[in-house]
Amino acid sequence: MRCSNFFTSLVFFKLSVCVLLVLLTFLFFYFSPFFGHDQAELVRLCAWVLKFFWAMAVFWFVWPLLAFWRGRLLVLFGGVFLSFMLLPLFINIQVMAFVESMLKLTALPDTWVSAGNLLSAGHFFGFLFLSIFAFSLYFSKFVNAVVLLQGSAVLSELLQQFSAGRQSSIEDFIFDVVGISLAGLFVCFIQRMRGVVPAGVYRAIIRRCFIKPFPLLH
């Protein structure tokens, strides 16, 4: 019962706040280049204010998850994974160099073991395992979980603008979406094999996603 409390509190108001923060962040990055050097302190202050509001919004969203241990594990795994994705560039390079040196000792082809491929693989497998955990925990709220995971993928790319030397990447976002999609298909298949899901539920999910998606958010 506690598992569903996370989504019963996910009303239109929370999603509106998230959309508003996304718009404010885009406006910040659009207008910040027009400020001069003498206004650098103002730009830095606005950046910290945006970070504060993002932190409060994230805490607001995940608070119901902290009521039970599986939710805490999900928050811990998601927090560690997203924090790694938002590392400054100089730290990210050092981590990737270490991982690359370790993988070169294996039988993997050298063309696979490169910084670019490792970053893409990190995005894919990170969201794959995070999504499998989330879908397994909240399969009865499958569409809502998809919305949150896709939103997390968008935010992870958007918030990279706040990290030193990092830039958003549409390629990374595509790998995130592919990982989420494959995780959803995998969990649906496993649940169907276990006989947990009636055969008609997939048609209902598709109908809710593409025909009447909004009632699910209430």
Residues 6+ apart with CB under 8 A from 194: none
Examine the pLDDT at 62 and tell me if it is beyond 90. Answer: no
Question: What pLDDT score does 131 carry?
Answer: 92
Confidence of residue 178 (pLDDT cuts 50, 70, 90): very high
Residues in the chain: 218
- Mean pLDDT, residues 189-197 taken together: 76
Q: Is 186 exposed, middle or buried (0-12, 13-18, 19+ CB in 10 A)?
A: middle
Per-residue pLDDT, 20: 84
pLDDT, tens only, 76-98: 888 888 888 777 877 877 877 78
Q: What is the pTM of this model?
A: 0.69
> What is the reported pLDDT for 127?
92
**What per-residue confidence (pLDDT) applies to 128?**
92
Higher pLDDT, 134 or 2: 134
pLDDT at 93: 76
Tokens of 164: 């030193």
Half-sphere exposure of 185 (CA within 13 A, CB side): 6
- Please give the DSSP secondary-structure letter assigned to residue 9: T
- The packing angle between helices 142-158 and 201-210, to 10°, is 50
Residue 183's pLDDT band, with cuts at 50, 70 and 90, is very high
CA nearest neighbour of 18 among 65, 75, 56? 56
Q: Which residues of 175-185 are buried (b: 16+ CB within 10 A; e: fewer)?
A: bbbebbbebbe
